[in-house]
């Protein structure tokens, strides 16, 4: 499916991978809806200069906001989206973090990283069925959705959920018309890596993918039918591979997390966790 003149809904399109997906889709001649809380300067310029790129303010944790994105498509172009790039997500922010544990009622990052892509996909299915049209969905998960990491168990759990969801959708396009896929990048240089996260996870450019590389692969997955419904793709600086349902081998190379041992890198990653646990131990005395 070529995206020329197609409607593409992109959550998290105000910055990072989502913004790269917006720009690359624009170059292909697509019509774009950006769903995000706010736009970065570059995204704002795109919206102001191109009538085929519109912004709909959206808190992805609110289902009414997600549904409003599809309504915005119908209002602007008289049709529902043809493709969905589900990019919005958070990486263990201080307000939603397993080890720091600041929340009283629920982990908000689950709403953003899990409920948002699942519910938007459900809205996509409903919208496409209502119009009798086919659509493509590509969700950003993470290599953390294949393995685990002691420093970010909540994040890993949310990405495992997305991978499990996508695998569960295998073959469902036969009766929904919506082809659902997921991409699992390794380390990516995006705004999600704040200075404290860079220090904790020993971030370096040589280990990281560029957001443009992830967006390019997402476009490939949205446009090519060879990425069948239920496909999960791993992407690292060494290239991409399909993740089978069972018996995968561990990823290799820099940026995958598999090369870490009990080195200074590992100590740096564990440092804030140990510090927090020490405080909790002291509080019990």
Burial level of 153, CB count in 10 A (0-12/13-18/19+)?
middle
CATH number of the domain enclosing 62: 3.40.50.720
Domain, as residue range, for 96: 7-195+204-255
pLDDT attached to residue 257: 66
pLDDT, average across residues 251-261: 68
Q: Is residue 280, in this structure, part of any structural domain at all?
A: no
Q: How many CB atoms lie within 10 A of CB 239?
A: 8
pLDDT attached to residue 269: 81
Rounded Cα–Cα distance for residues 21 and 137 (Å): 13
Q: Is residue 248, in this structure, part of any structural domain at all?
A: yes
Q: Is residue 30, in this structure, part of any structural domain at all?
A: yes
Q: Is residue 136, in this structure, part of any structural domain at all?
A: yes
Does 199 or 112 have the greater pLDDT score? 112
Q: Is residue 151, in this structure, part of any structural domain at all?
A: yes
Domains of the chain: total: 1
Q: To which H or E segment does residue 7 belong?
A: strand 7-11
User: What mean pLDDT, rounded, does the chain reach?
Assistant: 92
Contact 47, 68 (CB under 8 A): no
Q: Is residue 275, in this structure, part of any structural domain at all?
A: no
């Amino acid at each position: 499916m070529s995206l020329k003149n197609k409607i593409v809904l992109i959550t998290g399109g105000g910055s990072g991978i989502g913004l790269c997906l917006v720009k690359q889709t624009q170059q292909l001649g697509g019509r774009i809806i950006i769903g995000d809380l706010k736009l970065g300067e570059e995204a704002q310029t795109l919206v102001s200069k191109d009538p085929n790129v519109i912004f709909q303010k959206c808190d992805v944790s609110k289902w009414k906001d997600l549904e409003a994105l599809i309504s915005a498509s119908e209002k602007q172009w008289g049709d529902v989206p043809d493709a969905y790039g589900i990019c919005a997500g958070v990486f263990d922010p201080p307000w939603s973090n397993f080890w720091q544990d600041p929340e009283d009622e629920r982990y908000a990052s689950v709403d953003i990283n899990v409920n948002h892509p699942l519910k938007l996909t459900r809205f996509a299915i409903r919208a496409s069925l209502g119009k009798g049209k086919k659509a493509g969905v590509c969700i950003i998960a993470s290599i953390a959705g294949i393995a685990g990491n002691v420093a970010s168990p909540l994040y890993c759990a949310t990405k495992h959920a997305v991978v499990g969801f996508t695998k569960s959708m295998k073959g469902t396009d036969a009766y929904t018309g919506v082809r659902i896929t997921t991409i699992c990048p390794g380390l990516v240089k995006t705004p999600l890596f704040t200075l404290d996260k860079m220090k904790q996870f020993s971030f370096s450019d040589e280990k990281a993918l560029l957001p443009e590389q992830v967006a390019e692969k997402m476009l490939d997955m949205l446009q090519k039918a060879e990425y069948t419904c239920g496909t999960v793709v791993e992407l690292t600086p060494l290239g991409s591979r399909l993740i089978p349902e069972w018996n995968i081998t561990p990823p290799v190379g820099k940026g995958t997390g598999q090369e870490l041992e009990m080195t200074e890198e590992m100590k740096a990653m564990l440092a804030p966790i140990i510090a927090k646990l020490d405080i909790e131990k002291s509080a019990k005395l």
